[in-house]
Structure formats: C-alpha cells, structure tokens
A and B are shown apart, each in its own frame.
Chain A
C-alpha cells in the first residue's frame, strides 16, 4: 500500500479477454516491478481500479494469489468508469488501489469439500478461490462447481471452464437458463437453484460459496438448507457502492458494518443478523 492512501498503483494492461457481451477480463502487471514483487493479497479481497480522468470502480481480484506476477479483474461495461475501462487497450496504464476487504478463510477449510455455486457475472469473486484451491489441490477434498448464465454467450471464463472440466479432480456442472442453449450446447439447461438441487452435493464436511444475482441467491439458499448446509458454512460476498474502500467515506455500510472493511465476504450466519441495506 502506498503512503498516500488514495494514490493508486500504476498497472499496465497486459491482456484483455472478451468473456461475454460487455464483459472483459484484464490481466494487469505492476508498472513498477518492485511494487509488484512486494504485493500480496488473499482470495476474497478487492481493489479499486482507476481510469485517470473518469474515476474508480470496484471489482474483486479475480485471480489467485498463488499466481505471481499479475492480478486479474473481470467487469461488465455498465457506467461511466467501466465504459472508460472498456475503451482501454492492451498496453494502457490504469490505476489500482488495494487489496482491501476481508478474505475467504481458505486455511480453515483444509480437508473439507468446497462447493461453488455461481451465476452470471458473479463467477469472478469465486474464481480467485477456485484457482487458489486448484493450485493447492492437495489441501481440499472434493471440489464442485455449479455455474450458470442466462445464455451460452453470457458464460464467463469459457476457456477456463473447459480446462477445469477436463481435470479429473474437480466436478464442473455448467447450465444456461431455459431458452439460452445453443444447438451444440452440451451442458445442463435449467436455473442454477434447480441444477443444484438435482446435483444434490453432500453438505457433510462441505463449505458452500455462493455468488450471484439477488434472485439466484434467494432461490439457492433454501436448496442449500434442504441439502443440510448450515448458515455458518455458507459464504457469499456483498457489493455496495464504494468510493474510498477503506471505511472512511461512509457509503458502503450495511447497518454498522462496512462492506469494504468487514466484508465483502460474509457467511450466511452473519448476513442473517445484518439489516437489509444492500
């Protein structure tokens, strides 16, 4: 972290991947190599990414800390800053402030099964954990990924999903909403909660990580409960409008907690005690 809390690191865009309509992944390298060498983070943390002259936008760090030398973020073009980011090319320099926020407690999950349930543009916050778990595969038992999007085109990390499916040590189920399939689609067709119910992964010794649009979360939680998951073992992330990212600007709070400081990772047990202010 720089001494000036609000001054970003300078990052060069090394690679741009078009994931889905309007959705891009940037692979970023530190312009100052020493800063890059000294930089570390843990899965779950986020950053604020700048286009100088436009402002900052908040995204999770979507790559794993086990992969040195770069960080990645995935974003959808929606507003002023993300539109400016979408106009950047490989070689452009943007800003990055972070890592901020709390973490997925991976060290606590050694020896357990991990179940990832994600929808649409919400796979990025879990992708850092998935990559981290795959890079430390011996630390975990069964890994299951259930991921869906509206249509085949909307699935993000298509290439990586293919790679994960080819591995023998992780179960990958991808699905698209009814009507979103293409003629050569080989995955499931159905909403994520329904596909989860059908797959019925065990809840014994399992941590569930769930990220998705509010409607998906709302319908997924009862399925997880039915499968025997307790609120302490279900993890999710919250998003709120952010500016400072460090608990000072007063904007992202949910009751007395700040998404930027006390989150963005929360268990369902915690979320159940928090007011509906997100």
Chain B
C-alpha cells in the first residue's frame, strides 16, 4: 500500500481533534503531570505537552491495560457463574506517539497472537488508531536506529506527522485505518509539501549491530560473570518493565469479595524475585544476575527467534528511569563489541 503524503496545517489540529471526537473516538495524547508526561484523554491539542523527547510511561496501556478484568465470577449456593467483561473498548486515537512506541504494538501483538489468540488484546488493538509524531530531537538514551527503527519511521503509525520548519506537518497516511481517519476531515489534508522530511528528523546514530548482538548472545547464557557484572546495580524494582512499551510479562490475580470477584491480568516483571518462584521454594532464577540475563536474552535472543521480533524498540525509557542508573545501550554495546 503506497503512503499518501499530505500537508496538515498546525492550526488545523483543533478541527481534526474535534472531528475525531465527534466520530465517537477518544483521543489519548501526552499530557504534563508535574515533571512527568503521561498519555491521557484530551479534548483539544492545547492540552498536550510540548517540546519533549519522550513520555514517562509508554502508551501500551491503551491496548494492554495495567490491570485488566478477564472475567467476573459469582457464587450462587453450590454453583459458580462466570461472566465476560461487560464493557467493550472504545475506539481510540493515540496522538503524538513516537515512531519507537508505534513500532511496539507489533511486538506486543506477536506475543498475544502467538498460536493462542488473546481476544482482549486484539479487540483493543483493532479499535486503536495511531497518529504518530516524528522526532525532531533525541537524547543520549534513544537507540531506535540500533533496533531497526528510526526517528521518522512509519511502521506502526496509521498517520505519521513530521513537523516541518514552517510549524506545519507533513502527514504520511500509511494504512487503511489512517485513510479512514483522514476521510473524517479531508479538507484539512492538503497537497504534499515540497520540504524534505529527513532534514526535520533528529540524528540517531546506530550504537551496535543487532546481528552481532544476537550472535554473541547465543553463546553467553553460561557466562555468569558477565551477567553478575552487568546487574550489580539492579534493584529488581521492575520499573524498566513497567515503562517499556514492548514488555508483555503479566500476572493473573483474583480480586475476591465475599460473594464473587474478578480475575485480573496485571503487568508483571521478570526482574522480580518472586516471578519464577515455585511453591516448593525452588527458584530457577534465584539471583538478580539470572533475572537480568533473562531480560536481555528474552528481548534480544529468544523473541527474535520465536516471534521474529526484537523485544525492544529503542525508546530508552528503561535507562532514563532506572533508579540505579542501569543503561541498556552500554550493556548491549558491551556484549556486541567486547564479549566472545
């Protein structure tokens, strides 16, 4: 499907939002909350955060909520009644998603549709459209270019906006979903501007070769020294997994009342010591170095082999937010360059 290039004027955003809303869609966009930025429901472009590199949390909660009701149960005498969740997800547009985050939905999808189909996730993904926003700036934590992405990549966006020097946007209409969105306000999308997209993108250098990293990792499972050294600072707090747009690991928990309750699916992290703990007390990953190894191997070795996707989009949130200054780029470079 060829990408349609159009011009979207900055002053048209208000109208666009209003058309999206009247079509019954809710809009999630980055909003300032003190020093942090989260994706929240907005009504107008004026509410959006300006001039930032990346949001604090990813937008994965739109398709994979932090706590999702799987079903409810009710006790009636000797019987149990189960009910699917009552509400259907509402059509949503995520506005202002960076290309790295946009690419992450395909990664999540590769797990949730691996043989067994997770209809809860699929129904949310199907009802979600992405109007992405290219990156004019990057910081030292960004490494999208090292994992097959880039500051202006269209993969995962239904429409990708790139801010031009005039302040208006190049709008690339990438998918059928994007075409449907543009059709809500066709007069707002003018003929393609002449200005070059590339000169409006941040420069993100490649930090390591993914193929080399992958080949090295396949030899490194038993090299305990490497994993111990890399994870010395790791607290096992799980923040990296929570902010990561590509982390999928989850827990199933019952929230119980006297007469019934719900079963929930909640975000979890392989970094937690309890993650793999057997009831007997045995733990196959009993020390943090093994859990750090799992994080890297899962994302950069196992997922590429089993799911055909790298489990990382290079957004850099894990390193930006780590309270112990773990830095994923450094760790990956060390493996790709220095380890046999």
Contact = CB atoms under 8 A, between A and B. Distances in A.
Interface of A: 3-8, 10, 31, 50, 52-56, 78-79, 82, 91-93, 95, 239-241, 243-244, 246-256, 261, 275, 277-278
A91 B78 CA distance: 7
B249 A10 contact: no
Contact of B248 (A50, A82, A91, A250): A250
Contacts of A278: 284
Given A54-B256, A78-B280, A256 B249 contact: no
17 contacts: A4-B119, A6-B71, A52-B254, A52-B256, A54-B256, A82-B279, A239-B278, A243-B251, A246-B116, A249-B249, A250-B249, A251-B249, A251-B276, A253-B302, A255-B221, A255-B302, A275-B221
Given A3-B119, A277-B285, A249 B256 contact: no
A100 to B, nearest CB: 9
A250 B270 contact: yes
A57 B147 CA distance: 38
Given A7-B84, A248-B250, A275-B221, A256 B70 contact: no
Given A7-B82, A7-B84, 15 more contacts: A5-B119, A31-B79, A50-B263, A52-B80, A54-B256, A92-B78, A239-B278, A241-B278, A246-B115, A247-B111, A248-B112, A248-B248, A256-B302, A256-B306, A275-B221
Contacts of B279: 78-79, 82, 241
Contacts of B253: 55
A246 B284 CA distance: 19
Nearest to B80: A93
A244 B277 contact: no
Contacts of B280: 78
Given A6-B252, A253-B302, A255-B221, A248 B116 contact: yes
B60 interface: no
A252 B251 CA distance: 12
A265 to B, nearest CB: 17
A28 B42 CA distance: 51
A6 B251 CA distance: 12
Interface in B280-296: 280, 284-285, 290, 294
A248 B118 contact: yes
B320 interface: no
B221 to A, nearest CB: 5
Given A8-B82, A240-B284, A275 B222 contact: yes
Given A54-B254, A255-B302, A93 B78 contact: yes
Interface in B67-122: 70-71, 73, 75, 78-80, 82, 84, 111-112, 114-120
Contacts of A54: 254, 256
A244 B252 contact: yes
Q: A-B pairs with the 6 shortest C-beta distances? A: A53-B256, A250-B249, A79-B279, A256-B302, A246-B116, A6-B70
B47 interface: no
A70 B118 CA distance: 27
B301 interface: yes
A233 B192 CA distance: 66
B305 interface: yes
Contact of B70 (A7, A93, A246, A261): A7
A7 B285 CA distance: 29
Interface string B239-274: 000000000111111101000110101001010000
Contact of A247 (B115, B268, B278): B115
A212 to B, nearest CB: 14
Contacts of A239: 278
Given A3-B119, A52-B261, A244 B250 contact: yes
A241 B277 contact: yes
A83 B264 CA distance: 21
Nearest to A248: B111
Contacts of A5: 116-120
